[in-house]
Amino acid sequence: MEKVDLKNIYLKFFEERGHKIIPSAPVIPENDPTCLFNTAGMQPLVPYLKGEPHPEGTRLTDVQKCFRTNDLDEVGDKTHHTFFEMLGNWSLGDYFKKESITWSFELLTKYLKIPVEKLSVTCFAGDEDCARDEVTASCWKKAGIPEERIYYFGKDDNWWIAGETGPCGPDTEIFYWRSNEEVPSDFDPENDNWVEIWNNVFMQYNHKPDGTFEPLKNKNVDTGMGVERVVAVLEGQTDNYKSSIWTDLIKKIEEVSGKNYDDEKYTRSMRIIADHIRAIVILSGDDAGIKPSNTDQGYILRRLIRRMIRYAKKLDIDINSNWEQELA
């Protein structure tokens, strides 16, 4: 398996196109007491998406530490993680749909060498709040995506907002056919082999608490690409935990448990332990100084530790040994 240095390829690509590389914000939001965690790359950038000038300019790129606890019960499958990293590039009132889509296509097909036949894209179908996004669809067509692989969906699928209120807009999602089976002629969002690899959001509204959409000062672009998922895709793996990001950790779990990852009886437990120990380390190491407790982030930390221990017991790991330090 060839290791793919996705983060560097991505950041360099956008740096060459005028973007400033900015560091990841901590995983615990610094100025937003309403959120426990940064859940997407755009979250620390909300004030700038709303129009405040960013000190580094109007084109930014980064890899942001993200934490999501809304699908904790799904962690243990091939693709969900509590902690993950998100690559992104932003235009703060600078370029818009054409550049964003042209560059996404170029990076995916030329730099990351993904065959265009394995891609499908979706665009916003339009409703009373915002028009059908034919501009985006036509940009995809010009870039090289065949018309029969361009689909339209409504707000449930092709609209992005973090939470209930704030900057939002129509998005276009890029899907990759992650299977050795032949690519079907139709894109089917229900088919798990189609995995979303990148999301470009055209943030141009502020969703207000009264439910209305007010135009933002600027038309912005916010994109997000999950590192763990895309590295797995590029390394030809259908299970994220088989990619180079996770192999050392899984090997260590095999060592401390004396069990085999490929033994179906143990795979799920090993994935949960791998996911949770990584999340625990990141959370404990955050500048905010989180300790296990019964409130807020401390409660999440405690839950993750308890859940990890429960699964360690399933693997007959001696929980009085130094197993968790070795994994950390």
Among the listed ranges 108-116, 208-216, 217-225, 250-258, the one in contact with ligand SER (CB under 6 A) is 217-225
Among the listed ranges 26-34, 75-83, 220-228, 307-315, the one in contact with ligand SER (CB under 6 A) is 220-228
Asked if residue 41 binds ligand SER (CB under 6 A), the reply is: yes
CB of 252 to ligand SER, least distance (A): 30
Q: Which of 61, 100, 158, 223 binds ligand SER (CB under 6 A)?
A: 223
Asked if residue 44 binds ligand SER (CB under 6 A), the reply is: no
Helix, strand, or coil (residue 77) = strand
CB of 115 to ligand SER, least distance (A): 23
Q: Which of 29, 76, 88, 170 binds ligand SER (CB under 6 A)?
A: 88
CB of 201 to ligand SER, least distance (A): 5
Residues paired with 174 in a beta bridge = 121, 198
Asked if residue 174 binds ligand SER (CB under 6 A), the reply is: no
Footprint (CB under 6 A) of ligand SER, residues 56-85: none
Q: Pick between residue 162 and residue 250 the one whose CB is nearest to ligand SER.
A: 162
CA distance 81 to 71: 9
Asked if residue 224 binds ligand SER (CB under 6 A), the reply is: yes
CB of 123 to ligand SER, least distance (A): 15
Asked if 93 contacts 217 with a C-beta cutoff of 8 angstroms, the reply is yes
Task: Print the binding letters for residues 109-148 with ligand SER: x by CB under 6 A, - otherwise.
Answer: ----------------------------------------
Q: Which of 89, 199, 206, 267 binds ligand SER (CB under 6 A)?
A: 199
Beta-sheet pairing, 119-124 with 20-21: unpaired
Asked if 232 contacts 243 with a C-beta cutoff of 8 angstroms, the reply is yes
Asked if 104 contacts 133 with a C-beta cutoff of 8 angstroms, the reply is no
Sequence-separated (6 or more) residues with CB below 8 Å from residue 219: 93, 96, 202, 203, 204
Asked if 305 contacts 272 with a C-beta cutoff of 8 angstroms, the reply is no
CB atoms within 10 A of CB 117: 10
CB of 43 to ligand SER, least distance (A): 8
Count Cα atoms within 13 angstroms, Cβ side, for 17. 20
In the chain, which ranges are E strands? 20-21, 59-67, 83-92, 119-124, 150-153, 159-161, 166-177, 194-207, 213-226
Asked if residue 170 binds ligand SER (CB under 6 A), the reply is: no
Residues of this chain that bind ligand SER (CB under 6 A): 40-42, 88, 160, 199, 201, 222-224
